[in-house]
Chains A and B, each alone.
Chain A
Amino acid sequence: MVWQVLEGLSRDSAKRLRFVPGVVYVDEGAACGRSWEDRAKTLTDVRQILQTLGFPWHIVSLEEVFALPPSVLRCSAQDPVGTVGTYKVAVDSFLQQQRTLAAEGLRGSPSSAQGEEQPSQPCTQDSEDPVGPPPAAQTEALSQLFNSVKTLTAKEELLQTLRTHLILHVARTHGYSKVMTGDSCTRLAIKLMTSLALGRGAFLAWDTGFSDERHGDVVVVRPMREHTLKEVAFYNRLFAVPSVCTPAVDTKASEKASIHRLMEGFLLRLQAQFPSTVSTVYRLPLGPVSHPLRTSEKLVKAPRDGCAAGPRCLLCMCSLDVDSADSATAFGAQTQDFSQTPPPTPRAEAGAPAGPCCAAGLGGAPNCWQGTRPCGREGSRAHVIEQLCYACRVTMKDVPCLDPLPPYILAEAQLRSQRPSAEIQECLVENSDDEAPASGSGARGPPEQEGKEARAACDRINKNFFN
């Protein structure tokens, strides 16, 4: 895909692309258990390729998730800060750079400026390249996290989530408004079936569609969507596109180890038998994502809530698709428990699942059941779990302890569980914002006035106001 972008931006192409690209590479070696020497070797190869491109590039390692701020999990509606000037100026300056580079390459000596800017080394100007290994503590923490996850399926899902957050953060920091991924048609069909099997039926359009706007300011697009894997392989071969092969989390795993591998194997085998399988699956008309838990229309769009039209999943940022009230559903069947003769505590709906961790073998160790944990930890786990969508909850079932998760996730979970409800949001006086007109004059008070009093006051005022 990067090669195609390069082609599209070159002077010779018929329809020149008009944007300023950058390339980001995420080094996931720590999650796969690779040593720093191996990773350094791969990074050298990657750097070589990136340097020939002429775009600004960023190499980040997955360990940096431990330094992410909780704001990465909030979707914001405004444009990312740091966009250089206006769009036209940015494109023009980039094209200038390209021309200068080409001129240098032809003549073999630096030439005088043809425009107002004279960049000397454009390819490293905006590039990020860590020289040494990331802090050992972070590497250790990452391997601990991934080793504690019990199934390969959950590992792959977690890796994907963390990678997405990291790329999002990089994009926001450097002012990129779009992220392009190189998923081909085959990969997306596999992803679609995998998402289905994981319980993400509600979000298929976001996961596999052309554009994914759930993050608000940064849009993820998939321009390679129409090309099959075979076409990509042929292209790479015919045009000698350099590539680097790195081991991933599921390398050398058996085919039955994870849902992702199973689906991939199944679809590719079926495709061999019925050649239209991939295109049939991929062309399913998936529609705009519905919001089953839309909150009331009275909500003013407070800057903190941004584009959320309802509570969002903490990890994948899709709107929540679980409804605890409706128990005649697949979700209800898994959280209800009818086998205890004294009825279980009402925690069943808060989503503290009796995980399948003792499914194998008789007499599983009692200390891996949820119930024997100290109450405090169970409470905080329940807080995190109830902010997740169905599929993320199932993934988290395979993560026995939430402590190794990067701090930004836990901090955001804590923040969300303490956030006042949307109802009284408009009654609270923010220090910097104007008051919402609906709250009238009676709700003035210190911003800390939350809880029942404020809610009762707001209700009274609203009743008077709207009657």
Chain B
Amino acid sequence: MPAPQCSSCRAARAALRRPRSGQALCGSCFCTAFEAEVLHTVLAGRLLPPGAVVAVGASGGKDSTVLAHVLRELAPQLGVSLRLVAVDEGIGGYRDAALAAVRRQAARWDLPLTVVAYADLFGGWTMDAVACSIAGTGRSRACCTFCGVLRRRALEEGARLVGATHIVTGHNADDMAETVLMNFLRGDAGRLARGGGLGSRGEGGALPRCRPLQLASQKEVVLYAHFRRLDYFSEECVYAPEAFRGHARDLLKLLEAARPSVALDLVHSAERLALAPAARPPPPGACSRCGALASRSLCQACALLDGLQRGRPRLAIGKGRGGRDEEGPPGPLPPPPSDPVSAPGPAAGECGAACKERCE
């Protein structure tokens, strides 16, 4: 059967069917439509005002590659300038290859690139060192928790270094859907209450963050990268298989087979979620140690690092944080943190397998 015609330009032969609507389009019409949709999201959500200096969190993966490419195309229209910020977590055998991809992209697109390393920012703690430290506790799933929190801080630092006014990350609709499912399965009402919008406005000195690709499905992101022949790094992080997000991801794949629009349906549910007033998180303040945005007296990054320094890596993880002594000097050790009785499995604070900034 010959392929149908593109339903947009009616000139070329259709090369794909859009996963959501089933519409047949040729490659260039699809890319145009994709870019138009991202532009619309940015404009309608008023995410990036003209004159903004935008730090793009680049990991070398497909989402951040597509994001950087699309924003570069749209930059003249939006009136923004771009900087690439890459984070080196110090994961041997993975991050080096990814960073090489980012450097190639920066050279090709002629965009300034800044690399920030955990080792420099966090007193020598690389992810491999963190993994060693928590390996003894028998729950290696917590790797992603550390990585996500620390990467957020690193991205923030990198953005400030380059003088950016906004941070953008490449989360797509499938990531948001997985996050919603994950937060529900863990009963994380606080994170559910905070999420759901197109990004955070940036309170308390933190830079505003947004996710222009939030309404694009993962398949379309991959298709776009294919049609624009973008070069990206597609391997999974070595610590990924143990994360809880894997369950949510498997579930989402199954759901998509039953109903293709389920990712957007979940995003819609999250946007309109009605939680009890008592469940809403308290208004954020500032960390007493580093001054960053925090809902308690210590921000999560400082709390995690504290735990690592003291040789108690699981100190800040889990719901029962009663034993944590935030201000005390390294003296007599505080009582062991009460592991949440209700969750022998997933602990609060864990993030995704796909080596991305935690969605908040």
Bound together: yes
How many angstroms between the C-alpha atoms of A53 and B44 in the bound complex?
60
Shortest beta-carbon distance from B139 to chain A in Å: 13
Inter-chain CA distance A72–B82, complex, in Å, is 57
Q: Does B36 contact A (CB under 8 A)?
A: yes
Q: Is the CB of B269 within 8 A of A280?
A: no
Contact with A276, one of B181, B255, B267, B343 (Cβ below 8 angstroms)? B343
> Which of A231-239, A330-338, A401-409 is found at the contact surface with chain B?
A330-338
For B1, list chain A residues within 8 Å (CB): 362-363
User: Quick one: given A262-B258, A333-B37, A363-B1, are A270 and B185 in contact (CB under 8 Å)?
Assistant: yes
A336–B186 CB distance below 8 A: no
User: Closest residue to B270 on the A side, CB-wise?
Assistant: A201
**In the assembly, what is the distance between CA of A358 and CA of B215, in Å?**
22
CB-contacts of B258-282 with A (<8 A) = 258-262, 264-279
Query: Do the beta carbons of A205 and B274 come within 8 Å of each other?
Result: yes
**Chain A residues near B104 (CB-CB < 8 A):** none
Annotate A269-300 by CB proximity to B: 1 below 8 A, 0 otherwise: 01001111101110111111110100000000
Contact with B279, one of A203, A204, A287, A341 (Cβ below 8 angstroms): A287
118-168 of chain A: CB within 8 A of chain B = 151-153
Shortest CB–CB separation between residue A119 and chain B, in angstroms? 46
Query: Interface digits, A191-232 against B, CB 8 Å rule (1 contact, 0 not)?
Result: 011011111111111000000000000000000000000000
B349 to chain A, nearest CB (A): 15
**B187 interface contact, C-beta 8 A:** yes
With a cutoff of 8 Å between Cβ atoms, the chain B residues found around residue A330 in the complex are 173, 215, 264-265, 267-268, 271
Return the contact of B275 from the options A196, A273, A286 (Cβ within 8 A): A286
Q: How far is the CB of B270 from chain A (nearest CB, A)?
A: 6
Is B27 close to A, CB under 8 A? no
Residue contact A286 to B276, C-beta cutoff 8 Å: yes
Q: B334 contacts the other chain (Cβ, under 8 Å)?
A: no
Interface check B20, CB cutoff 8 A: yes
Query: A257 in the interface, Cβ–Cβ < 8 Å?
Result: yes
B344 interface hit (Cβ, 8 Å): yes
Whether a CB of chain B sits under 8 angstroms from the CB of A354 is yes
Q: Closest B-chain residue to A329, C-beta based?
A: B271
Expressed in whole angstroms, the Cα–Cα distance for A339 and B279 within the complex equals: 41
Residues of B within 8 A of A36 (CB): none
A333 & B344 in contact (Cβ 8 Å cutoff): no
Which residues of the other chain, A, contact B187 by a CB distance below 8 angstroms?
A: 280-281, 283-284
Given known contacts A327-B44, A363-B4, A259 and B258 CB-to-CB distance under 8 angstroms: yes
Report yes or no: A338 in contact with B266, Cβ–Cβ below 8 A: no
Chain B 1-29 per-residue mask, 1 if CB under 8 angstroms from chain A, else 0 = 10110011100000001111111110001
A201 to chain B: which residues have CB within 8 Å? 268-274
Contact A321 B272 (CB under 8 A): yes
CB of A10 within 8 Å of the partner chain? no
Q: Are A359 and B186 in contact (CB under 8 A)?
A: no
Q: Smallest distance from the beta carbon of B12 to chain A beta carbons, Å?
A: 12
Tell me if B17 and A359 are in contact (CB < 8 A): yes
Q: Is the CB of A197 within 8 A of B274?
A: no
Cross-chain contact A202 with B269 (CB below 8 angstroms): yes
Closest Cβ neighbor of A327 among chain B residues: B44
Least CB distance, B9 to chain A, in whole angstroms: 6
* Known contacts A274-B344, A339-B29, A356-B261; A287 and B275 CB within 8 A of each other: yes
Partner of B215, one of A284, A285, A333: A333
Known pairs A202-B272, A359-B22; A285 contacts B185 (CB<8 A): no
How far in angstroms is the closest Cβ of chain B from A252?
16
Q: Is B41 an interface residue (CB 8 A)?
A: yes
Q: Is B40 part of the contact surface with A, judged by Cβ < 8 Å?
A: yes
Does B30 have its Cβ within 8 Å of any Cβ on chain A?
A: yes
Cα–Cα distance between A144 and B138 once the two chains are bound (Å) = 57
Q: Which of B3, B270, B343, B345 contacts A362 (CB 8 A)?
A: B3
A341 to B275, CA, bound (A): 42
Whether a CB of chain A sits under 8 angstroms from the CB of B336 is: no
Contacts of A204 in B (CB 8 A): 273-274
Which residues of the other chain, A, contact B264 by a CB distance below 8 angstroms? 330, 333-334
User: Knowing A196-B184, A273-B345 touch, does A266 contact B254 (C-beta < 8 A)?
Assistant: yes
Tell me whether A197 and B268 are in contact in the complex, defined as CB-CB below 8 angstroms, given that A204-B274, A328-B44, A356-B261 are known contacts.
Answer: no
A429 at the interface (CB under 8 A from B): no
In the complex the two chains form, what is the Cα distance from A390 to B264 in whole Å? 11
Residues of A within 8 A of B279 (CB): 284-285, 287
B40 cross-chain contacts in A, Cβ below 8 A: 327-328, 336, 338
> A residues within 8 A CB of B32?
338-339
* Alpha-carbon distance A203/B268, docked complex (angstroms): 12
Complex alpha-carbon distance, A6 and B346, angstroms: 41
Residues of A within 8 A of B77 (CB): none
Name the 3 nearest CB pairs between A and B, nearest first.
Answer: A201-B269, A274-B345, A287-B276
Q: What residues make up the interface of A, taking CB atoms closer than 8 Å to B?
A: 151-153, 192-193, 195-205, 256-259, 262-263, 266, 270, 273-277, 279-281, 283-290, 292, 321, 326-334, 336-341, 354, 356-359, 362-364, 390-391, 394
> Knowing that A196-B181, A394-B259 are A-B contacts, what are 8 other residue pairs whose CB atoms are under 8 Å apart, sorted by A's residue number?
A151-B258, A193-B181, A198-B269, A262-B254, A276-B344, A333-B37, A357-B22, A359-B19
A selection of 12 A-B contacts at a CB cut-off of 8 Å is: A152-B258, A193-B184, A193-B185, A199-B265, A201-B270, A201-B273, A202-B274, A266-B254, A288-B274, A338-B36, A338-B40, A364-B22
